[in-house]
C-alpha cells in the first residue's frame, strides 16, 4: 500500500511549518502567508554528493585532503570583481537580489559574455525566451556573445543539461520561476526554492561550477522566500538603485570569500551598465557652493572610502509634533544626533521639522557619518553654510564627545585627492594621519567645539 503523502502548511516569508492552517504566522507575524504543501519522505531525498564523473563524497582526514589552489576568475568589470572579493570563485553559489527592472539580468548578461572567455557559460532563463534574451544581448553589445542560452524551468531537465555540457559557469534567472516536479507545489513556494537551491548547491560544490542565482525582492526589501535561502549560498549581493536615477549600487551583505558591505557602483546606459571608477566625484559633482545644510563625509563602504554629501533641511513645524524624515541615513541615528545637539550644543530643535538625506542615493550605516550629519543640521538651523573644502569624520557619543573611527588614513587621502583643504577628525585619530601635505587636519574632541570652529 502506497504511503500517504504528508501535507503541512509552510509560511512563504520565513519557512515556519504548521500542521494546520493559521491566518497569521506565529514566527514572523505575517498574515495569509501559510500555504499547503507536500513534504517528501526523507528516503526519497537525494543521498551523498555525487560529481558529474560519478564520484561520491566520503569522509577524509584533514591531512589527507589534497590542497588545490583555485585562482579566482576575474571579469572585465573591476567593480563586480571588488564586490565578490577579487573575482568569481569556482564552486561558489552566488545569490543576486534586487527590485524588478533594476538591471539584474542586464548585469548577468554582461558578466556571462566576459566569463565565456574563461570557460563554458550556461544561461538558464525561466522568465524570457531565448529570442528575447538575444534581442537584449544585441542591444547591450555589438560583439557576439559566446555563451549558451537555455529557456527552461524544469530543474530535472536543467540538471541533465548541466551534466551533459559540464559548464564552468551557470546562471539561473530566476530562482522563483524554477520548478522541481517531484514537489507538489507551485514555483516560488518555500519547498520549491529550498529544494532547488539544495540541488544547485550540490552541483556547485561537487563539480567546481560557479552558479549565479537571481532572486526577486519583496516590498520589504528582502529576497523573496525564506531567510534560509541566504544561509545556504556563499555570497549574497543586493542590486540597489532608484528607477529615476541611472546609478546602481551592487552591495555584498554576505561573502564567504571576501569582505562584507563592499559596494560596486554602475551607471545604467542604453548599451548596458558602465562602471563608475570614481564614485566620490560623482556624488559631489552637483553640490552647490556655500549652500546651507550641507556637509561632506568620507564614509567607508567595505574597503573603499567614498565622499558623500549629507544634506539637511530644518524648518519650524506647523504642528504640535516635529517631523523627522531620513533617506539613506538611519532614522534612529538621526534622532540621537539631534538630541545631542539640543542637549550639548543648545540648538532648540524640538519644534523644528528635520529632513535628512545622503545625496546620490547611497545608504550610509557606519558611525563615522555622525559628525557630518550634526554639522549639516547645525548649518541649516543657523542658516550658515560650511566651507566647500571642509570634510567631517567622526562618531558622536551621547555626552557630546567625538569618538575615534577606523581607517582614518584612507578617508583623509580620499578627501585630499578630491581637493579638500580642511578635515575635522577625532582627536584620538589625529596622530594616525601621516604623509598629508595639502590638507589641514583639525583634531576635535566635542561636538560643541566643532560647531564653534565651523560657524564662528
Backbone phi and psi for residue 304, each to the nearest 5 degrees, phi listed first: -110, 125
Alpha-carbon distance 152 to 40, whole Å?
Answer: 24
Quote the distance between the C-alpha of residue 256 and its chain's center. Answer: 14
Alpha-carbon distance 284 to 295, whole Å?
Answer: 11
Q: Hey, where are the domains in the chain?
A: 6-39, 73-277, 281-454
Is 100 annotated as a binding-site member? yes
What pTM does this model have? Answer: 0.76
17 has pLDDT over 90: no
Is 104 annotated as a binding-site member? yes
pLDDT tens-digit profile of 90-106? Answer: 999 999 988 888 889 99
The mean pLDDT of 213-238, rounded to a whole number, is: 75
The mean pLDDT of 340-362, rounded to a whole number, is: 91
CATH architecture of the domain with residue range 281-454 = 2-Layer Sandwich (3.30)
Backbone phi and psi for residue 426, each to the nearest 5 degrees, phi listed first: -60, 145
Please provide the distance, in angstroms rounded to a whole number, between the alpha carbons at the two ends of the chain: 89
Is 71 annotated as a binding-site member? no
Alpha-carbon dihedral 437, 440, 445, 448, rounded to 10 degrees: -170
377 has pLDDT over 80: yes
76 has pLDDT over 70: yes
Residue 171: pLDDT band (50, 70, 90) is very high
Alpha-carbon distance 318 to 85, whole Å?
Answer: 50
Stretch (H or E) spanning 34: strand 34-39
User: All 3 cell numbers of residue 71?
Assistant: 585562482
Is 103 annotated as a binding-site member? yes
Does domain 73-277 bear CATH number 3.30.200.20?
no
pLDDT in the model for residue 45: 47
The percent of residues in the chain predicted with pLDDT above 90, rounded, is 45
Q: Mean pLDDT lowest for which of 76-90, 326-340, 405-419, 428-442? A: 428-442
Give 30's contacts (C-beta < 8 A, 6+ positions apart): 11, 13, 14, 24
1 has pLDDT over 60: no
Is 101 annotated as a binding-site member? yes
What percentage of the chain's residues is helix, strand, coil (to nearest 5)?
Answer: 30, 30, 40
443 closest CA partner among 379, 348, 371? 371
Alpha-carbon distance 227 to 197, whole Å?
Answer: 12
Judge if the upstream peptide bond of residue 174 is cis by omega within 30 degrees of 0.
Answer: yes
CA–CA distances in Å: residue 17 to residues 146, 175, 352: 44, 21, 48
14 closest CA partner among 193, 182, 134, 137? 193
pLDDT tens-digit profile of 107-141? Answer: 999 999 999 999 999 999 998 888 888 888 888 77
Q: How would you label 51-66 residue by residue, b for 16+ Cβ within 10 Å and e otherwise?
A: eeeeeeeeeeeeeeee
Is 92 annotated as a binding-site member? no
pLDDT in the model for residue 310: 96
**Of 12-16, 38-42, 316-320, where does the model show the most confidence?**
316-320
Alpha-carbon distance 23 to 12, whole Å?
Answer: 13
User: All 3 cell numbers of residue 350?
Assistant: 524640538
pLDDT tens-digit profile of 245-296? Answer: 788 889 888 999 888 778 888 988 888 899 988 888 888 888 888 889 999 9
The percent of residues in the chain predicted with pLDDT above 70, rounded, is 89
| Torsion sign (Cα): 180, 185, 188, 189 | negative
Quote the distance between the C-alpha of residue 74 and its chain's center. Answer: 20
Q: Mean pLDDT lowest for which of 47-51, 231-235, 377-381? A: 47-51
Alpha-carbon distance 392 to 413, whole Å?
Answer: 13
Is 98 annotated as a binding-site member? yes
Measured N-to-C along each axis, helices 155-165 and 190-207 cross at an angle, to the nearest 10 degrees, of: 10
Residue 148: pLDDT band (50, 70, 90) is very high
Amino acid at each position: 500500500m502506497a504511503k500517504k503523502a504528508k501535507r503541512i502548511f509552510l509560511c512563504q516569508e520565513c519557512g515556519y511549518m504548521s500542521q494546520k492552517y493559521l491566518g497569521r504566522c506565529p514566527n514572523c507575524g505575517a498574515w495569509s502567508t501559510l500555504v499547503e504543501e507536500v513534504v517528501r519522505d526523507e528516503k526519497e531525498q537525494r543521498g551523498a554528493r555525487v560529481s558529474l564523473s560519478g564520484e561520491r563524497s566520503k569522509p577524509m582526514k584533514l591531512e589527507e585532503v589534497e590542497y588545490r589552489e583555485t585562482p579566482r576568475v576575474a571579469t572585465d568589470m573591476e567593480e563586480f570583481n571588488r564586490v565578490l572579493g577579487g573575482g568569481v570563485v569556482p564552486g561558489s553559489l552566488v545569490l543576486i537580489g534586487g527590485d524588478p527592472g533594476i538591471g539584474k539580468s542586464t548585469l548577468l548578461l554582461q558578466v556571462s559574455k566576459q566569463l565565456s572567455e574563461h570557460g563554458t557559460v550556461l544561461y538558464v532563463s525561466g522568465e524570457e525566451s531565448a529570442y528575447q534574451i538575444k534581442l537584449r544581448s544585441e542591444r547591450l553589445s555589438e560583439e557576439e556573445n559566446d555563451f549558451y542560452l537555455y529557456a527552461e524551468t524544469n530543474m530535472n531537465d536543467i540538471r541533465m543539461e548541466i551534466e551533459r555540457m559540464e559548464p564552468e559557469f551557470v546562471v539561473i534567472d530566476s530562482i522563483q520561476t524554477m520548478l522541481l516536479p517531484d514537489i507538489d507545489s507551485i514555483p516560488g513556494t518555500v519547498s520549491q526554492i529550498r529544494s532547488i537551491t539544495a540541488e544547485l548547491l550540490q552541483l556547485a560544490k561537487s563539480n567546481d561550477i560557479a552558479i549565479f542565482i537571481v532572486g526577486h525582492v519583496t516590498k520589504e526589501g528582502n529576497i523573496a522566500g525564506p531567510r534560509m535561502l541566504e544561509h545556504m549560498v556563499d555570497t549574497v549581493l543586493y542590486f540597489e538603485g532608484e528607477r529615476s536615477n541611472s546609478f546602481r549600487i551592487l552591495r555584498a551583505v554576505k561573502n564567504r570569500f571576501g569582505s562584507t558591505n563592499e559596494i560596486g557602483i554602475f551607471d545604467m546606459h542604453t548599451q548596458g551598465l558602465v562602471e563608475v571608477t570614481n564614485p566620490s566625484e560623482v556624488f559631489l559633482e552637483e553640490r552647490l557652493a556655500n549652500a546651507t545644510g550641507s556637509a561632506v563625509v568620507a564614509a567607508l563602504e567595505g574597503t573603499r572610502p567614498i565622499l558623500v554629501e549629507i544634506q539637511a533641511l530644518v524648518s519650524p513645524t506647523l504642528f504640535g509634533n516635529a517631523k523627522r524624515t531620513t533617506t539613506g541615513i538611519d532614522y534612529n541615528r538621526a534622532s540621537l544626533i539631534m538630541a545631542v545637539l539640543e542637549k550639548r550644543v543648545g540648538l532648540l530643535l524640538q519644534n523644528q521639522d528635520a529632513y535628512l538625506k545622503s545625496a546620490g542615493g547611497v545608504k550610509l550605516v557606519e558611525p563615522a557619518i555622525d559628525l557630518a550629519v550634526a554639522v549639516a543640521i547645525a548649518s541649516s538651523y543657523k542658516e550658515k553654510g560650511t566651507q566647500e573644502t571642509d570634510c567631517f569624520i567622526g562618531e558622536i557619543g551621547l555626552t557630546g564627545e567625538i569618538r575615534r573611527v577606523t581607517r582614518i588614513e584612507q578617508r583623509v587621502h580620499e578627501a585630499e585627492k578630491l581637493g579638500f583643504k580642511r578635515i575635522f577628525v577625532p582627536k584620538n585619530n589625529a596622530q594616525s594621519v601621516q604623509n598629508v601635505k595639502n590638507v589641514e587636519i583639525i583634531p576635535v574632541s566635542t561636538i560643541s567645539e566643532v560647531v564653534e570652529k565651523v560657524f564662528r
